[in-house]
Structure 1
Amino acid sequence: MKKYQKIMTLGFSVLSMAVSYGCKNEPKKEKQILLAKRVEPSNKSNKRTVKIALLLDTSNSMDGLINQAKSQLWDIVNEFTRAKCGNETRPELEIALYQYGNDALSYREGYIQQVLNFSNDLDEISEKLFSLTTNGGEEYCGEVIQTSLKQLEWGKDPDNLRMIFIAGNEPFTQGRLHYKDALTNAKEHDVIVNTIFCGNYELGIETQWKKGAQLTGGEYMAIDHNREVVHINTPYDDIIIKLNSRLNKTYISYGARASEYEENQASQDENAMSVGYGVAIKRAVSKSSRLYNNKSWDLVDASADADFELKEMDRKSLPEELKGKSDEEIISYVEEKRKERERIQAEIAELNSKRERYIRENQKENTQGELESAMLKAIKKQAAQKNYTWD
């Protein structure tokens, strides 16, 4: 069966993928600094959104897939930072995560669990991926698809892209609910189901994984989930890692859970490093992108939100260095941190361009991950139907 820890990382990868379809030109609003109370992410958005649900088999034999997910999550996120609509509007990304086929889960629930609802918090997505563990079990593909359709808020906007990626290596036909019923429901809700069989391509066809994808116009993919991606060292790696440490110091945490979020940011840096030096570098690159936004706990990101206004300030929610300061002093401090962050992010982006060029010139074979490659191929093909392109 499958070892679970590796698949979770992917979710982000994809996680990187839940990108939003902002295909319309939007009027610019005057931005003010929000310094009142802790801001929870708004459920409303004027942009189009790509919603991706990752359904990962966490039974015993899936360790390789989980490892790929952990190592390739940030590759997917970084690729999505280049997505755009015809009018240059950049999309947003939301990712949800489910695990299935694990004996530790409830039999009554079909050995299925929602690990994460739709989220654009990249640290949270990474955290949930790294929390996965594997255990033997029964893999019910139809039931986990149906469960995700019922539990998640997919929305009805016809311009949004809604996708499911389900990965596993047991027959697609197992379970009490026939997979065709679940896929019919998905099609009715304009949700595309893409299937990733971990094993031989022809075996995946024989066990109905290809048929499962075809019923909603999705892609069928077979991957070698045990393949390891080799990191190519470049002259820019150490510099990017050092810049990442400086980047973390530009965050101004606030709110009741400020320390928790700040600690999780550091924890996910450590998780990425535990998988490999190359993964830590790719996460640092993601943190320099537009998709890494922490307005729910960071004053710099919060102050850049067009919906935020500087009104009554909840002084108790501010960090110690800002307590007792005037509005002007707080604004000045936040702007100073913003400028510092922008300089660091720009430097990381420039170094990463050189790093990617170095890799292209020195790689002896394709170093792209199996899971990453499969997902991005499907995403780009289906996103093209919504007028999305890539830089």
Structure 2
Amino acid sequence: MKYLKHLFGTVLFVAVAGTSYGCNLKATEPMSTTLIAKSIVDKPAKQYVKIALLLDTSNSMDGLINQAKAQLWDIVNEFTHAKCGNDRSSRPSLQIALYEYGNDNLSSNEGYIRQVIGFSDDLDEISEKLFSLTTNGGEEYCGEVIQTSLKQLDWGKNADDLKMIFIAGNEPFTQGKLNYKDAAYNAKEKDVVVNTIFCGNYEQGISTMWKNGATITGGDYMAIDHNRQVVHIATPYDDVIIRLNSQLNNTYISYGSLGRQKKAMQSEQDNNAVAMEAAVAVKRSVSKSSRMYKNSQWDLVDAIEDDEEILSELKEEELPQELQGKSENEIKTYVDAKKAEREKIQKEIQELNAKREAYIAKNQKEETGELENALLSAIKAQASKKNYTWDK
């Protein structure tokens, strides 16, 4: 489906790396010093954009899943530009959750629903989970999967957070014992906006209540051709960006119990992207050169940037072999060199990508389609209520 990227685009568009202040920066009356101090203390450390993707994985949805795999990264690249109000340094933190439903391989006792991954900011893991999805015919219970995501996920209580569900499928929205209206009203109570994507005819989606499911929460209804092929435009910059991505991987220093596993996952997701198409690998490489791609839990460069004290806390055996037996100063020097190398490569990728995007814009023979415009308009309209804006 050419347009699932728009589902993900919609889904991911409002997000990037963390901030210490909320996006909902409204004009207020002057406060006393005491009230100001209290508001600072009470303010959450971060503001979040929380997105739950609910994907139908029945037999008819192979196109939907394949396009999700193909389009994740160029959608992520769009979201590096989101910010809170007019403060360029204030960026919301993104968390994504993934559910599959309507698959016979899933438990009937659970309503043919499975949480694939809870809220996470680990882009490699999100990619890995997407590539793990397979399709098989089943019963598609839209109301139940919405309700399950509302109950299982930690949506938080911060009124400034942007909380959204995107559900995609092609069977009537009314299937299942749980009334979709009850689930929608529960979402509304939690300040969660439900957006529906019907894989089929627009009018059919309306008659099967997909539009109503979105309307109840103030969300948007869209219809897509989920089997339409994605058109990628090759550019003269693609091969260079892919080569730089290999160099970028060499700047990651794995540590701790997760290190080796996560570094292997990084390479595995590179390979998955290449297997889809070279253009997908390019888009993933661009994502890895942005602020969106952060791996403090297993990469020493990112970890030290977040907390320099981590070096004194790590045990010898938690370090990679090349750093074992080194002094703390020697390790820091090594990490600093890798950080500088990474930043240089990331800058090169970003500069090449700017030329790549200009080339694509010049050689694009057809419009991206009304769905993309509809999705981006919808997400921006919903995000604007939380005072989100974009750099470009």
Give the TM-score taking structure 1 as reference length. Answer: 0.89
Deviation at 1:188, TM superposition (A): 0.3
CA gap 1:45/1:320 in 2 versus in 1, 3 angstroms: farther
- C-alpha separation in 1, matches of 2:307 and 2:370: 37
Amino acid corresponding to residue 343 of structure 2 in structure 1: E
SS in 2 for 1:156: coil
Aligned ranges 1:301-340 → 2 under 5 Å: 301-306=302-307, 308-340=309-341
* Aligned-partner Cα distance in 2 for 1:234–1:259: 34
CA distance in 2, matches of 1:172, 1:307: 51
In the alignment, which residue of structure 1 is the partner of 2:351? 350
**Structure 1 stretch displaced more, 358-367 or 236-245:** 358-367
Equivalents in 1 of 2:70, 2:44: separation in Å?
A: 30
State the match for 2:178 in structure 1. 177
Distance 1:235 1:45, change over 3 A: farther
CA contact (8 A) 1:123 1:268 kept: yes
Kindly provide the amino acid, as one letter, of the partner of residue 101 in structure 2. Answer: Y
Summarize the Cα distance change of 1:176–1:199 in structure 2 as closer, same or farther, 3 Å threshold. Answer: same
- Give 5+ residue unaligned stretches, structure 1: 27-43
Instruction: Give the C-alpha shift of residue 75 in structure 1.
Output: 1.7
Supply the distance in 2 between the matched residues of 1:258 and 1:45 (Cα, whole angstroms).
30
Match of 1:24 in 2: 21
Give the equivalent residue in structure 2 for 1:38. none
Kindly state the Cα deviation for residue 72 of structure 1 after the two structures are TM-superposed: 1.1
Find the aligned partners of 2:369 and 2:271 in 1 and give their Cα distance: 23
Corresponding residue number in structure 1 for 2:110: 109
Local SS of the residue matching 2:256:
coil
Check conservation: 1:54, 1:165, Cα contact below 8 A. Answer: yes
Larger helix share, 1 or 2: 2
Q: Report how far residue 47 of structure 1 moved.
A: 2.1
Equivalent position amino acid for 1:19 in 2: A
Stretch moving more, 127-136 or 224-233: 224-233
The residue aligned with 2:91 is 90
Q: For this pair of structures, how many residues does the alignment match?
A: 368
Change (3 A) 1:306 1:159: farther
Shift of 1:385: 1.0
What secondary structure, in the 3-state scheme, does the structure 2 residue paired with 1:172 have? coil
Deviation at 1:368, TM superposition (A): 6.4
Deviation at 1:348, TM superposition (A): 0.3
Q: Which residue of 2 aligns with 1:35?
A: none
Q: What's the CA shift for 1:366?
A: 2.0
Matched AA of 1:66: I
Contact 2:21 2:44 in 1 (8 A): no
User: 1:95-152, CA deviations, whole angstroms, 9 ceiling, x for partnerless residues?
Assistant: 0000000011111110000000000000000000000000000000000000000000
Cα separation, partners in 2 of 1:19 and 1:317, compared to 1, 3 Å: same
Letter paired with 1:56: L
Quote the Cα distance in structure 2 between the aligned partners of 1:160 and 1:91: 9
Q: Tell me if structure 2 keeps the 8 A contact 1:14–1:52.
A: no
Cα distance change on mapping 1:17 and 1:286 into 2, 3 Å: same
Q: What displacement does 1:376 show?
A: 3.5
Structure 1 vs Structure 2 CA RMSD: 2.3
- Distance of 1:250 and 1:82 partners within structure 2: 25
Work out the CA distance in 2 between the residues paired with 1:312 and 1:58.
44
Between the aligned partners of 2:370 and 2:62, the Cα distance in structure 1 is: 15
Range with greater deviation from structure 2 (61-70 or 138-147): 61-70
Q: Which residue of 2 aligns with 1:219?
A: 220
Q: Does 1:388 align with 2:384?
A: no
Q: What corresponds to 1:137 in structure 2?
A: 138
Matched-pair identity in %: 66
2:34 equivalent in structure 1: none
Aligned equivalents of 2:190, 2:99: Cα separation in 1: 19
What is the CA distance between 1:166 and its match in structure 2? Answer: 0.2
1:1-391 → structure 2 map (5 Å cutoff)? 16-17=12-13, 19=15, 22=19, 24=21, 46-86=45-85, 87-88=87-88, 89-306=90-307, 308-367=309-368, 375-391=375-391
Alpha carbons of structure 1 residues 174 and 353: separation in structure 2 relative to 1, 3 Å: same
For 1:293-324, what per-residue CA distance to the aligned partner results, in whole angstroms no more than 9, with x for missing partners? 01000000001115855434411100011001
Question: Which is worse superposed, 52-61 or 73-82?
Answer: 73-82
SS in structure 1 at match of 2:69: helix
Normalised by the length of structure 2, the TM-score is: 0.89
Q: Identify the residue that residue 33 of structure 2 maps to in structure 1.
A: none
Q: What letter is aligned with 2:365?
A: K
In structure 2, stretches of 5+ residues that fail to align are: 24-42
Work out whether residues 183 and 216 of structure 1, in 8 Å CA contact, stay in contact via their aligned partners in 2: yes
